[in-house]
A = this chain, B = another copy of it.
Amino acid sequence: MPETSTFPSLKRLLVGKPIPSHLAHHERMSRVTGLAILSSDALSSVAYATDFIVATLIVAGIESLRYAIPISVVITTLLGIVAFSYRQTIHAYPTGGGAYRVAKENLGTMAGLVAAASLLVDYTLTVSVGISAGVLAITSAAPQLVAYRVEICLVFLALLSVGNLRGIRESGRIFAVPTYFFVVSIFVLIATGFYRYATGGIEPFVPAVPEERVPLTTLLLLTAFANGCTAMTGVEAVSDGVPAFKAPEAKNAAATLVTMAALAIAMFLGITFLAHAYLVIPTHAESGLSQLARAIFGNGTILYYLLQAATTLILILAANTAYADFPRLASIVSRDRFLPRQFMNQGDRLAFSNGILVLSSFAAVLIIAFRGDTQSLLPLYMIGVFVSFTLSQTGMVLHWRHSRKPGWQTSALINGFGAVVTGIVLVIVAVTKTLEGAWIVLLLIPLIVTVFKATRRHYDHVAAQLTLRGYEPQRRVHNTVLIPISGLQRAVVEALRYAETLSDDVRAVYVDVDPTATSGLQRDWKIWGGKVNLVVLESPFRSVMEPLLEYIEQVEGERPDDYVTVILPEFVPARWWQHLLHNQRALLIKGALLFRPNTVVTSVPFHLAR
């Protein structure tokens, strides 16, 4: 006997136990946990943001590196502004103010869809960039692994996928460890670095600078600035997650956001200053942070390896945040019918599984296409982030204007300033990065919006066709039941007996390709046929399918308003490979009948023991 119900156990294995409704909100976050869970994306970006500035400037010669520090100061100022701006969002949307919702409610559906498309692209790149940067921390410490970079990236991607399909989100507290581990490691590095710098005990790298150099133009400085703005990614996460905090939610979230911004600013400035002091030049094989740690802690020391481990952990954790964000946003967009229903969360985790699988597939494509190289992925990353920043902040301005609460002007001013600042960064990013790959994202966002709108249009059409308003169902009285057969055996006889319970007009249809077999069948029919009539069809071309389909068409023609039920005996083999040996004709008939109105196809299973 086959297992009585394979479905639930299979799903259980894949996606874990379902959560009962009354337990769904049992684990609210404190500030300490919230900071760890929601800020890994923002904090981890300090692991690579400095590198991107340095790698851009170095082509203009080693002296140009001194511009890294003023650029960083500008970026951290912007980071402070944006964080302050998002603090407003927290208080205005205590139930969670993602860019999609804020833009849609205040700027209209189209802006919301653009924000949603940008965010979905952004989350995909968060996964690719996080994993590739995390693997760079590994290959920096173990250069012999560089050749396997893509493979290691894909292993981490697979781990995240399976982990999230099984639901690692439940055990929130373990996520606190990597974040604090990273923060502490970075501050130890900065403190030691400054101490050694102040006491004169440093020996700057003598990096191999490329001979050919380009002039230091404004465009180059802007590019370095745009690249450094990766330090700002992830800053919106806290405002999306407000309802997950302990009461008072908004207050706790706001405090968490401020702490996060302060930590990010301090770490980013510290690392950039030291990178300049120690003259580290990141390569595709070793990150600047790794070089810095080698210089400060010494090559091969335990502290060095601890920092690399912490970096890998927080970057993978940052990638992991997208595994919560992507399916959640897809579910919200799907509820508004802009994405297929499969993404809509309806109690089961199944909808989230679809989101996880889609996210992992796209991230894998990016990792493979860009050979797991963080610097190559970067140009794609920023567009999505800053489109959603700008739309979200602009939406907030209109939100305040409509609310007319006391002091709304101040709030609107703060968000407006944020919108202008992020908008300017967006333009700079678009100008400096388009030719380097950002055009992919600039094409992708309108494409995704088109898919959103086509999906919604289709669902609207369907809803119109399904409405019961003014609907008068036809009275179907007569039901002709047809059973295509190629001979008599148990499965056929079972199907005949089943068919007899359905209608008084049951006909078995047989195609005559061999007169001897046909007369044998007609003889046996007296024993097994029961109330079922046998219809024998001629086949001048020895074809079986065509006469059958023509007959079905003819029967439908006789009674255009009634259903024709076609019953197909279907074998259910005991082993998977045996499927290849059966049901081919049934499949062909089903395929041919799929597009016919008023034709119902019924499969009567016959279970094979072996």
Contact = CB atoms under 8 A, between A and B. Distances in A.
Interface of A: 1-8, 11, 18-21, 340-342, 346-348, 350, 455, 458-459, 461-462, 465-468, 471, 473-479, 488-491, 493-494, 497-498, 501-503, 513, 524, 528, 539-546, 549, 553, 563, 565, 571-573, 578, 580-582, 584, 588, 591-592, 594-605, 607-610
A596 B501 contact: no
Given A6-B592, A7-B591, A498-B600, 11 more contacts: A4-B553, A4-B596, A5-B549, A7-B592, A462-B582, A466-B491, A471-B490, A473-B497, A477-B501, A565-B602, A600-B604
Contacts of A498: 476, 479, 563, 600
Q: Which of A347, A493, A528, A591 has the most CB of B within 10 A?
A: A347
Contact of A601 (B565, B584, B603): B603
B467 A490 contact: yes
Closest 8 CB pairs of A and B: A347-B542, A7-B592, A466-B489, A18-B541, A602-B602, A2-B595, A479-B501, A466-B490
B340 A580 contact: yes
B473 A346 contact: no
12 contacts: A5-B553, A21-B542, A340-B584, A347-B542, A348-B542, A455-B581, A458-B581, A468-B490, A473-B493, A474-B497, A476-B497, A600-B604
Contacts of A503: 501-502
A471 B600 CA distance: 29
Contacts of A4: 553, 596
A462 B6 CA distance: 24
Given A542-B21, A581-B341, A461 B608 contact: yes
B528 A461 contact: no
Contacts of A461: 608-610
A541 B350 CA distance: 13
A599 B7 CA distance: 15
A348 B592 CA distance: 16
Contact of A572 (B3, B477, B491, B594): B594
Contact of A479 (B494, B502, B582): B502
Nearest to A24: B542
A458 B601 CA distance: 27
B7 A541 contact: no
Given A544-B347, A549-B7, A584-B341, A501 B476 contact: yes
Given A455-B581, A466-B489, A599-B605, A543 B497 contact: no
B608 A541 contact: no
A602 B602 CA distance: 4
Contact of A465 (B20, B458, B488, B609): B609
Given A7-B591, A490-B471, A594-B572, A544 B346 contact: yes
Contact of A346 (B474, B476, B542): B542
A222 B151 CA distance: 46
A567 B386 CA distance: 49
A347 B489 contact: no
Contacts of A21: 540-542
A474 B341 CA distance: 42
Contacts of A549: 5, 7-8
A541 to B, nearest CB: 4
Nearest to A451: B577
Contacts of A596: 2, 4-5, 605
Contacts of A584: 340-342
A578 B458 contact: yes
Contact of A545 (B7, B20, B475, B580): B7
A248 B455 CA distance: 68
A608 to B, nearest CB: 6
Contacts of A610: 458, 461
A7 B599 CA distance: 15
A596 B540 CA distance: 40
B605 A348 contact: no
A571 B466 CA distance: 11
A353 to B, nearest CB: 12
B602 A601 contact: yes
Contact of A468 (B488, B572, B581, B582): B488
Contacts of A581: 340-341, 455, 458-459
A553 B604 CA distance: 17
A541 B349 CA distance: 11
Contacts of A563: 498, 501, 604
Contacts of A467: 489-490
A572 B553 CA distance: 18
A513 B591 contact: no
A605 B609 contact: no
A116 to B, nearest CB: 18
Nearest to A546: B8
A18 B542 CA distance: 9
